[in-house]
Amino acid sequence: MSVSYRTVAPATLRRTAGEQPEPHEPKLLIPALGTFYGTARDLAYLIVRITPAAILIVMHGWGKLIAGPAPVIASMAKYGIYPPTLMGYVVIVLETIGAVCVMLGLLTRIFAAGLAIEMAVIAFYVHPPWGVAPATSPFQLVLTWGLIFLAIALRGGGPYSLDRTIGWEL
């Protein structure tokens, strides 16, 4: 019996009910939901891409944008991140424009990689002097965010992204 696939979204293969999985695919728990599983996989990635970027801009980027560059530059100098002026502006751009671009899926890999690097610097350079214990440092949270942005950088915008729509996926 041959396996047939139908294309529903660009570069995404979906099984219809009753079709056998490819050798590298897991067996479906409920085979009749094969089309749903394929669609849900792409939508789940959309949620994974949008959620951390939205939280980042609301909880961190917007405040930095409203306060202006001075407090961010002072923070860079306090932690010994040089040149503080340049790095302060880089952080503001990443946490505002970069977060919006990750949400939209525009230049996703570039901005997600920049955010992953920012989170790595925060996790391993800023927080270690405070320790890695959950009661004294948000090390684990920042590390988790960094790994999420790294995963987004590795995968790209996905099927529901402006990168894919305009054909700029890097």
Q: What is the pLDDT of residues 31-49, one digit of tens each?
A: 898 889 888 989 999 999 9
Q: What is the pLDDT of residues 141-170, one digit of tens each?
A: 899 999 999 999 999 999 999 999 999 888
Query: Considering Cα of 128, then 130, then 135, then 137, what sign does the dihedral take?
Result: negative
pLDDT classification of 11: cutoffs 50, 70, 90: very low
Q: How far is CA 170 from CA 106, 108, 121, 149, 167, in A?
A: 10, 9, 24, 16, 9
Q: What are phi and psi of 157, to 5 degrees?
A: -70, -25
pTM: 0.82
d(CA 93, CA 111): 10
Closest CA to 44 of 12, 19, 21: 12
For the segment 83-101, the average pLDDT, to the nearest whole number, is 98
Q: Tell me if 42 sits within 8 A of 160, measured CB to CB.
A: yes
Mean of all residue pLDDT scores within the chain: 87
Higher pLDDT, 130 or 18: 130
